[in-house]
Amino acid sequence: MIIFKLLRVRHWIKNLLIFAPPFFGGSIFNPETLKISLPAIIAFSFAASAIYIFNDIHDRESDKKHPLKNRRPIASGEISAGASLIFSCILITLSTLFSLLINTSFAYYIFSYLGLNILYTLRLRFLPIFDIFSIAAGFIIRVMAGGEAFNVGVSNWLFLSVLFISILLASGKRLSEMSALKNNAHLQRKVLSEYPDGFLESLLWLTGAASLISYSLYTIEKEENLFYTVIISSFGLIRYLYIVKMGKGEPVDAIFNDRILSVTIIIWIIVVGYLRYN
């Protein structure tokens, strides 16, 4: 359906990061956590979709020339920019209302996410390094918002793990775009021409190592047996690096399209859950 394409519903999987703090904190099944889970995930999903629509409105002319983005509802003319803008404003309003049902701190994170991504669409994505950190910041905001929503502290090592894996995913996304667009990459995304040869790939390896080390130290800090999940996370990380090198590193597509990676993530969640809740 056109509405699902406009909302980019499959990208809502990113919003599951808000459950990272209570999941690792051992409180995911607490009645209070379960009570506010639905409004929390709805608030962030609506905010994310509002930004996707805003971005598609802003980029509709350039998207028409893109080999894949020209299929998006606004670029293809399936829905008008005016109607989409009204829908985006409605989503922001609903997101705000749902976030305020939880607490004002969570609402501030929603507003921060919206503000950051508006700046990203208008300016930050055109600046090298800023664009990668802006994407990474979106993941971090989700985790920190989850901590506020469910009243669970985010440890320093967990924060660093999310930071480095977020930069890894952002650089993997950019490398994937370069691979897919080839010689036309700089025409579709100008910032790609600003990166020196090998820079993004070096960043990928650097943040991959840093994220693995941070997560390893987090598992040692949290619970001794949790350390053994580093084996699974190492495999998943290496699999993602392999996917990036194959030119298919867009994070959401990688999760949904690569069966080995998706199964690895599921196994990791099950094992971590067993160790934290058994």
Q: What is the pLDDT of residues 19-57, one digit of tens each?
A: 999 999 889 999 999 999 999 999 999 999 999 999 999
Tokens linked to 173 = 């996304």
Q: Is 253 exposed, middle or buried (0-12, 13-18, 19+ CB in 10 A)?
A: middle
Over range 204-210, report the average pLDDT: 95
Write the single-letter amino acid at 194.
Answer: E
Q: Rounded to an integer, what distance in angstroms lies between the CA atom of residue 79 and that of residue 10?
A: 19
Q: If you count DSSP H runs as helices and E runs as strands, how many of each does the chain have, helices first? A: 14, 0
How much is the pTM? 0.91
Share of the chain above pLDDT 70, in %: 96
Q: Cα separation of 55 and 243, whole Å?
A: 26
CB atoms within 10 A of CB 200: 22
- Cα 262 vs. chain centroid, distance in angstroms? 15
Contact between 158 and 218 (Cβ < 8 Å): yes
What does the alpha-carbon distance between residue 171 and residue 200 come to, in Å, rounded to a whole number?
6
Q: Which pLDDT value is given to residue 266?
A: 96
